[in-house]
Structures are given as structure tokens and as C-alpha cells.
Amino acid sequence: METHVYKWNGEYWGFIHSGYLFDGNGDYRGWREGNEVYRSDGSYLGELTYDVYIIRRTTAPLKPLKPLKRLPPSPPVPPLSPSRPGKAPLPAHLEDALEHF
């Protein structure tokens, strides 16, 4: 199953395929465990929200590193996906985790 991932402003960023996070070019960037998303280096990226956005609380302490997840044998073909309308601005204690990726 594939999930498209967007920045909060509606810009298409990438996708999650079989629990792995890929950017729009199909490059491996991390993985998903439940609603938590981690970068490929094991650092916490944020929480999957509304099934399409990855948001991180700016006021919460950083989560510890997770062990590195094994890279997939070959990246899937990136899906084509148009951008979508942006959302209302986030509250000050939240940020779009993909904005500075």
C-alpha cells in the first residue's frame, strides 16, 4: 500500500511504501512505525497526521534514536501526484516536519 505525503502548504513531497518513506524522486528517506516517522539515520522526524502530513511538536523533547531499519532492496517507482490545497497555518507549537528536510 502506498501513501502520498505532502507538505502542510499542499506541495507534494513523497510517499510511504511498505512502511518506508521516500521523497518524490524515489530516494529512501526513512520509515514509519505506527504514526511515528523516522529519518534514515534513526532520528525522529514527526508524526503522520491526517494520513498525508508529517508534523512535529516544537515544544516536546526530542525522541531517542531508533535502530536503523534495513534499507529496501530496490526503491519503487515514484507515483505521480499533484499538489493539494494548503491547510490553515499551524499553531506555534507545531511545524511541518518536511519543510526543512
78 pLDDT above the threshold of 60: yes
Residue 52 has pLDDT above 90, yes or no: yes
Label residue 85 by pLDDT band (50, 70, 90).
confident
CA distance 73 to 61: 33
d(CA 32, CA 61): 19
pLDDT for 90 equals 92
Is beta strand 2-6 parallel, antiparallel or unpaired with respect to 94-96? Answer: unpaired
pLDDT of residue 73: 56
The conformation of residue 7, written as its DSSP 8-state character, comes to: -
The DSSP secondary structure of 40-81, one letter per residue, reads TTS-EEEEEETTTEEEEESSSPPPPPPPPPPPPSSPPPPPP-
Q: Is the pLDDT of residue 12 over 70?
A: yes
pTM for the whole structure = 0.75
